[in-house]
Structure 1
Amino acid sequence: MSTYGVSVLGADLKTLVDTAQAADRAGFDAAWTSEFYSRSGSISMAAMAGRTQRCRLGSSIMYGIGRSPLVLATEARDLDELSGGRVVLGLGNGTKRMMSDWHSVADTSAPALRMEELVPLIRRLWNLHEGPVRHEGRFYHMNLVPTGELEPPQRTVPIVTAGVRPRMCEVAGRVADGLAGHPLFTTTYVEEVVRPAIAKGAAHAGRDPGDVELISMVICAIHEDPEVARREAAQQIAFYSSVKSYDTVLDVNGFTAQGEAIREAFGRRDLPAMYAAVTDDMIDTMAVAGTAEQVRAGLKRYEGVLDHIMLYSPSIGLTPQRVQENLDSLIRECAPAAAGKGGDGSG
Structure 2
Amino acid sequence: MTTRGITVLAGGLKDTRDITVRAEQAGFDGAWSGEFLNRSAVVSVAAMAAATTRIGVGSAIAYAVGRSPLVLANDARFLDEMSEGRFTLGLGTGTRGMMVGWHGVTDPDGPASRMEELIPLLRRLWQLHEGPVVHEGRFYSCNITPTADIEPPLRPEIPIYTAGVNARMIEVAGRVSNGLICHPTITDQYLGDVARPAIERGAEKTGRSASDVALKGVIITAIADSVEQARREAAAQIAFYVAPKAYGTVMEASGFGAETAEIQAAFRAKDHDAMVDAVSDAMLAEMAAYGTTDDVREQVERLEKRYDHAALYSPSFTLSAERVAENTTAIIETFAR
TM-score for the superposition, normalised by structure 1: 0.95
Distance (Å, rounded) in 2 between the aligned partners of 1:303 and 1:102: 33
Who is 2:135 aligned against? 135
Who is 1:210 aligned against? 211
Contact preservation (8 Å) 1:191, 1:305: no
Matched, 1:269 2:270: yes
Distance (Å, rounded) in 1 between the aligned partners of 2:164 and 2:14: 30
- Which structure 2 residues correspond to residues 168-187 of structure 1 after superposition, within 5 A? 168-187=169-188
Who is 1:256 aligned against? 257
- 1:38 match: secondary structure: coil
Q: Which runs of 5+ in 2 are unaligned?
A: none
Who is 1:11 aligned against? 11
Distance (Å, rounded) in 1 between the aligned partners of 2:279 and 2:10: 26
- 2:19 match: secondary structure: helix
Contact preservation (8 Å) 1:184, 1:249: no
Who is 1:149 aligned against? 149
- 1:35 match: secondary structure: coil
The alpha-carbon distance between structure 1 residues 10 and 242, as it changes in their structure 2 partners (threshold 3 A), is closer
Q: Per-residue CA shift, 1:283-305, capped at 9, x if unaligned?
A: 12221111111111011222432
Q: Per-residue CA shift, 1:317-338, capped at 9, x if unaligned?
A: 0001101111111111023x2x
Contact preservation (8 Å) 2:80, 2:154: no
The CA deviation at 1:270 is: 1.4
Matched, 1:74 2:71: no
Name the Cα RMSD after superposition.
1.1
Distance (Å, rounded) in 2 between the aligned partners of 1:199 and 1:304: 19
The CA deviation at 1:83 is: 1.1
Distance (Å, rounded) in 1 between the aligned partners of 2:131 and 2:248: 45
Who is 1:35 aligned against? 35
Who is 1:100 aligned against? 100
What's the % identity of the aligned pairs? 52
The CA deviation at 1:129 is: 1.7
> Which moves more between the two structures, 253-262 or 105-114?
253-262
Q: Which runs of 5+ in 1 are unaligned?
A: 338-347
Distance (Å, rounded) in 1 between the aligned partners of 2:268 and 2:329: 34
Which of structure 1's runs of 4+ aligned residues deviate more than 3 A? Answer: none
Q: Per-residue CA shift, 1:66-108, capped at 9, x if unaligned?
A: 1000000001111111111111000100000000000000100
- 2:305 match: secondary structure: coil
Matched residue type, 2:329: D
Who is 1:20 aligned against? 20
Who is 1:278 aligned against? 279
Which has the bigger relative contact order, CA under 8 A and spacing at least 6? Answer: 1
> Which moves more between the two structures, 67-76 or 2-11?
2-11
Matched, 1:56 2:53: no
